[in-house]
Amino acid sequence: MRWLSLHLRARRVPMAAAVVVGVIALTWVSWPVFSDGQTINTRMISVTVMLAVVAIGTTLSGADDALDHTASVSWPTRRAAHLLLCAAAVIGLLLVTTLTDARFEPLGVVARNTAGLLGLTALGAALLGAALSWIAPLVWTIVAIMPWMGPSGQLRMQLGAWLVQPAGTSAATVCATLLAVAGLVAYTVRGCPLRPAAETVPHN
């Protein structure tokens, strides 16, 4: 248990978890104040999930990159479990709100957006490192929630704005699934790239 506690602290999991819970709670509490409806819309779901996965992105690497690649530990299994548990945690927290008046739903949109954005974050971490994993989900979300983006029958719009498409939109679901699988595979197999030693050595 001590090893697990040290591992979670090294990856800044407690701080990230606090941010995730805080972001979801803030959206849930404030939504009835600023909206006449009780169901949180797809744009706000997208923004909330994006902020949550950006916080999770900081946990995708530890302080010592070399340790994360040592052969003495089954890191691919742990990295895959880390991502899957994070996805389950975010989806679970969002779905708890369905027991209240203000709620994140439908489930299809919640699950699709969480899987897709977390996969995009993991893909960014595998290619650019955890410190820059926020770029892709942030940029794609900002583009998708623009006023001129929305539900559409055009394939290119369904792909580009998959975050705000209705549940059951095939192209949006496929796009999110591909991002989720690509991110999971890339991060599981590769992990984060090794940083120069100067960036990982603590400074006095």
pLDDT at site 4: 67
Count of CB atoms situated within 10 Å of the CB of 134? 21
User: Could you read off the pLDDT of 86-127 as tens digits, one per residue?
Assistant: 999 999 999 999 999 899 999 999 999 999 999 999 999 999
Total tally of structural domains belonging to the chain: 1
Check: CB of residue 134 under 8 Å from CB of residue 54: yes
CA triple 191-196-200, angle to 5 deg? 80
Question: Hunting for tokens 């999770």 — which residue is that?
Answer: 56
Backbone torsions φ then ψ of 164, nearest 5 degrees: -110, 10
Which H or E run contains 39?
strand 39-40
Domain that holds residue 62: 2-194
- What is the average pLDDT score of the chain? 89
Check: CB of residue 113 under 8 Å from CB of residue 81: no
In a domain, 200, yes or no: no
Tell me the mean pLDDT in the region 191-198.
Answer: 70
pLDDT at site 181: 98
In a domain, 96, yes or no: yes
In a domain, 151, yes or no: yes
- For residues 44 and 40, what is the distance between their CA atoms, to the nearest angstrom? 6
Structure tokens given for 190: 């590769």
In a domain, 91, yes or no: yes
pTM here is 0.90
pLDDT at site 180: 98
In a domain, 170, yes or no: yes
User: Could you read off the pLDDT of 17-59 as tens digits, one per residue?
Assistant: 999 999 999 999 999 988 888 899 999 999 999 999 999 999 9
